[in-house]
Amino acid sequence: MIRVVVVDDNALLRAGLITVLNSAEDIEVVGEADGGRRALTIVEATRPDLVLMDVEMPDGDGISATERILQRSPQVRVLILTMFDLDEYVITALRAGASGFLLKTTDPQTLIDSVRENAAGRTTLGPTVVARLIDSFVSRPAKPVVQVPGLADLTGREVDVLRSMARGQSNAEIAGELYLAETTVKTHVARILAKLGVRDRLQAVVLAHRSGLAAG
């Protein structure tokens, strides 16, 4: 069972989110809060697997609340849910430790699926968010290549997979491009994360760009 805390200052929206999540047999909402300060108390009391966090709230934004929650409870996953897909929100939220970012216009089933993916340890980013992140990387001025520990340990095929990941491709798309089974791609991705010492796909993509590999 995936234990979730929902944080949003809009009571009606919060109730709707709780109803949607509780409709899934494997998800249980164990707490709710209308602001970041209250969220800290609820998370410490309930020890959830995941926090669904709004960004803009009267008592402080959800990004700073995310940072404080993860400082106290690093095992918790935080999925940001907001009306805005602004670049500064995305980058700042991910730097604060959030492991996912979805818009409030996301449909109920996608929300449920995203909670499951996120709780399983995978980064959850809506398609528009991924596109914006990649565009942001591409448009930045070139920086000196950074030596990334573990990169030299990747096999040739793992390098190919990482390059495809850096272009924002899904496992299914990578499988089609490289003529591999999707299960094989998943295995390569898991090995890439382990060798690079990162916890999720997004961090691996960031390292690929910093190392210059994504431009190769």
> Which residues on neighbouring strands pair with residue 28, listed in sequence order?
3
What is residue 133's predicted lDDT score, i.e. its pLDDT? 59
Which of 50 and 142 is assigned the larger pLDDT? 50
Distance CA 155, CA 87 (A): 33
Within 8 A by CB and 6+ apart from 132, the residues are 85, 87, 90
**Is the Cβ–Cβ distance between 51 and 76 less than 8 Å?**
yes
Q: Would 2-134 and 144-215 be classified into the same CATH topology?
A: no
Name the band, by pLDDT with cuts 50, 70 and 90, for residue 129: low
Phi, psi of 181 (to 5 degrees): -70, 145
pLDDT digits (tens, 9 = 90+) for 51-108: 999 987 766 678 888 989 999 998 999 998 877 655 566 777 777 888 888 888 889 9
pTM greater than 0.75 (yes/no): no
What is residue 147's predicted lDDT score, i.e. its pLDDT? 74
Which of 197 and 123 is assigned the larger pLDDT? 197
Q: Report the top-level CATH class of 144-215.
A: mainly alpha
pLDDT digits (tens, 9 = 90+) for 194-206: 999 887 787 788 7
pLDDT exceeds cutoff 50 at 144: no
Domain residue spans of the chain: 2-134, 144-215
**HEC states along the chain?**
CEEEEEECCCHHHHHHHHHHHHCCCCEEEEEEECCHHHHHHHHHHHCCCEEEECCCCCCCCHHHHHHHHHHHCCCCEEEEEECCCCHHHHHHHHHCCCCEEEECCCCHHHHHHHHHHHHCCCCEECHHHHHHHHHHHHHCCCCCCCCCCCHHHCCHHHHHHHHHHHCCCCHHHHHHHHCCCHHHHHHHHHHHHHHHCCCCHHHHHHHHHHHCHHHC
Nearest to 73 by CA among 111, 102, 47: 47
Name the CATH architecture for the domain at 2-134: 3-Layer(aba) Sandwich (3.40)
**Range in 23-27, 46-50, 127-131, 192-196 with the lowest mean pLDDT:** 127-131
